[in-house]
């Protein structure tokens, strides 16, 4: 998840939805703009798909691919469960964004990039956003019921991702300088859920190590993202690792990236992954991180959003290596 925030809109964009133009024109007016379907759509961040959505999906997809190889899961079953987790993860991410906007509407009003969001301008009421939140939450949990014969157990485990993980995240930026660490727990909860959905049990060797690595990954990309708003966050009193790390943000995040790749590699060894996993997933992720840190200037706000988006590519790279590994062992 993107911490409930999105990158600045491109001023050269050829398309601007009428509802967004209406919001801009009335942002200084005492009369709130009239709610439209697009305001609700904007609240879910689905108008920015796959921004943020895939970052919820990747850990689940990785967990499915690794366990599918371990238990020789048929390709059709792997494909079905992957689709279910993609839909469920997308709905859960949207629900988390709605909740974040409800909780942070006062903070968002003080930040240049977020001051025109529907709840800030009054285009959508808190009650209307709350109804949308409930619908999205129930729909995301329903997706887990289509996974396998232990679906009800998996759904109960998945609920932990809703509460307390996603539910308490908006409050973390008020309580701690490490909200990105808590976000890491929430964003990557799909990994243990997907793992258990295939194996029916917890692999206490590989799973905790890989999960720890994914939390480090979230700290990397969400801190990069938060660097866009460091000055506004300091003024508004918002806590984050971007503010905490200060001028040392790049070397500190480089350490977290190294830990992520190391944890993934160790988890691969413990799960008996093949050469494709280590070459493409681990090696590819390491090279991509190297490129990110060599080309990132934390003092240029726009680059934080760019590097955040690049982490979607790491998801593809890691998944591709896992699927190749699965193919060579199970299908070929």
Q: What is the pLDDT along the chain (332 residues), one digit of tens a residue?
A: 444 444 444 444 444 444 444 444 444 444 567 778 899 999 998 888 877 789 999 999 999 999 999 999 999 999 999 998 999 889 988 998 999 999 999 989 888 888 999 999 999 999 999 999 999 988 887 776 665 556 666 767 888 988 899 889 989 989 999 999 999 999 999 999 999 989 988 899 999 999 999 999 999 999 999 999 999 999 888 999 999 999 999 999 999 999 999 999 999 999 999 999 999 999 999 999 999 999 999 999 999 999 999 999 999 999 999 999 999 999 98
Predicted pLDDT at 254: 98
Predicted pLDDT at 23: 45
Using omega within 30 degrees of 0 as the cis cutoff, is the peptide bond preceding 232 cis? no
CATH code that applies to domain 47-331: 1.10.357.140
Domain assignments of the chain as residue spans, ordered by start = 47-331
Predicted pLDDT at 9: 42
Predicted pLDDT at 39: 92
CA distances from 275 to 141, 206, 213, 266, 325 (A): 35, 17, 20, 13, 7
Nearest alpha carbon to residue 191 among 169, 175, 213, 172? 213
Long-range contacts of 10-18 (CB under 8 A, 24+ apart): 17/47
Predicted pLDDT at 147: 58
For residue 291 the two structure tokens come to: 């490129």
**Cα 97 from Cα 310, distance rounded (Å):** 20
Q: What is the pTM of this model?
A: 0.84
Predicted pLDDT at 113: 86
């Amino acid at each position: 998840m993107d911490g409930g925030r999105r990158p600045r809109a491109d001023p050269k964009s050829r398309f601007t939805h009428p509802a967004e133009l209406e919001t801009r024109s009335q942002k200084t007016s005492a009369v709130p703009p009239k709610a439209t379907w697009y305001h609700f759509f904007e609240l879910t961040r689905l108008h920015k798909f796959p921004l943020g959505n895939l970052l919820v999906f990747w850990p689940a997809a990785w967990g499915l691919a690794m366990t599918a190889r371990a238990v020789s899961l048929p390709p059709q079953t792997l494909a079905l469960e992957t689709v279910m987790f993609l839909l469920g993860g997308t709905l859960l991410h949207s629900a988390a964004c709605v909740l974040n906007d409800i909780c942070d509407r006062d903070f968002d009003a003080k930040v240049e990039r977020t001051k025109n969001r529907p709840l800030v301008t009054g285009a959508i009421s808190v009650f209307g956003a709350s109804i949308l939140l409930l619908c999205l939450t129930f729909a995301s949990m329903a997706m887990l019921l289509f996974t396998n014969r232990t679906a009800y157990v998996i759904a109960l485990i998945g609920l932990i991702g809703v509460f307390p993980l996603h539910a308490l995240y908006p409050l973390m930026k008020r309580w701690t300088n490490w909200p990105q660490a808590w976000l890491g727990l929430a964003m990557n909860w799909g990994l243990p859920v997907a793992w258990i959905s295939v194996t029916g049990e917890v692999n206490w060797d590989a799973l905790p190590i890989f999960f720890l690595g994914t939390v480090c990954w979230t700290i990397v990309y969400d801190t990069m993202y938060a660097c866009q708003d460091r000055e506004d966050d300091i003024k508004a009193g918002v806590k984050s690792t971007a503010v905490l790390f200060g001028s040392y943000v790049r070397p500190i995040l480089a350490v977290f990236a190294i830990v992520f790749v190391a944890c993934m590699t160790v988890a691969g060894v413990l799960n008996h992954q093949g050469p494709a996993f280590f070459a493409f997933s681990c090696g590819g992720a390491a090279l991509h991180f190297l490129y990110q840190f060599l080309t990132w200037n934390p003092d240029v706000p726009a680059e934080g959003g760019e590097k955040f988006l690049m982490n979607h590519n790491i998801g593809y790279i890691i998944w591709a290596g896992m699927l190749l590994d699965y193919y060579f062992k199970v299908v070929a």
